[in-house]
Chain A
Amino acid sequence: MSTVLLAGTSIALGLLTLAMLLCAVRLARGPTASDRILALDTLYINSLAILMTMGIRFAEPTFFDAALLIALLGFIGTVALAKYRLRGDIIE
């Protein structure tokens, strides 16, 4: 691993951690349930970016599978929660 790549992944991981902390703030504070669902949605997208960055850092393609799983399940979770808020029911 070259020095440039090491520095780049370190900076990116720091920024993404900060982004996840901000999402956690909104998740704790959010006045309405929709705000909290949106915060969870952003949280999983940020964790996706963190996993891809970790995959580059360790030169390990296994992280990709975890990222794909989070991308699939995160979307389903967001839609299920929002649908529940919308209808009071998920599958009608």
Chain B
Amino acid sequence: MNSPATTGGSLPLLDLLIATLLVVGATFALLGSIGLARFSDFYKRLHGPTKATTLGVGCTLIASGLFFTQHDGSFSAREVLIAVLLFITAPVSAQILVKSAFNENPKGRPPAPPSVRDFLKIPPEKTHPSK
């Protein structure tokens, strides 16, 4: 690798940090996918990908930003673009997926916590508008 003169060669400590972030990020992504594959219920399955996997990709993006900052010798901010995009879109897609699952089977959802107003309560006389 031809490292620029400004950084004075490849920094071993930074390489170690990048490698650690990569492995930690990949481990989180794997844990999220294990949760997706092994949990018993759709609402439980949603927890893995929406939280663990997003954190894992965040770690990978930080590693990539650090690596290209070192490699090019100047600050690389393109990874921030993907990070912002991902952290905005992940909750939106999770919420719309919950709505889709609730639409498929309104009875299958877990009970609401006792002290909370139940916004999705189904009135007994009103049937679900299924197509």
Interface residues in A28-87 by Cβ distance below 8 A to B read 32-35, 37-39, 41-42, 45-46, 48-49, 52-53, 55-56, 59, 61, 64, 67-68, 71-72, 75, 78-79, 82-83, 85-86
Cα A78 to Cα B20 with chains together (Å): 31
Q: Which residues of A contact B1 (CB under 8 A)?
A: 1, 59
- Cα separation A4 to B15 with both chains bound (whole Å): 7
Interface positions, chain B 32-51, Cβ under 8 Å from A, are 32-34, 36-37, 42, 45-46, 48-49
How many residues of A sit at the interface, in one of the four size bands? 35 or more
B-contacting residues, A1-15, CB 8 Å: 1-2, 4-5, 7-9, 11-15
Which applies to chain B's interface (DSSP): helix, strand, loop or mixed?
helix
Q: Which residues of B contact A (CB under 8 A)?
A: 1, 10, 12, 15-16, 18-20, 22-23, 25-27, 29-30, 32-34, 36-37, 42, 45-46, 48-49, 53-54, 56-57, 60-61, 63-64, 67-68, 71, 78-79, 81-82, 85-86, 89-90, 92-93, 96-97, 99-101, 103-105, 131
Q: Can you name 16 extra interface pairs (CB under 8 A) apart from A4-B15, A82-B97? A: A8-B20, A8-B22, A9-B22, A15-B23, A19-B30, A22-B34, A22-B36, A32-B104, A38-B45, A42-B48, A42-B49, A45-B49, A61-B78, A64-B64, A79-B96, A82-B99
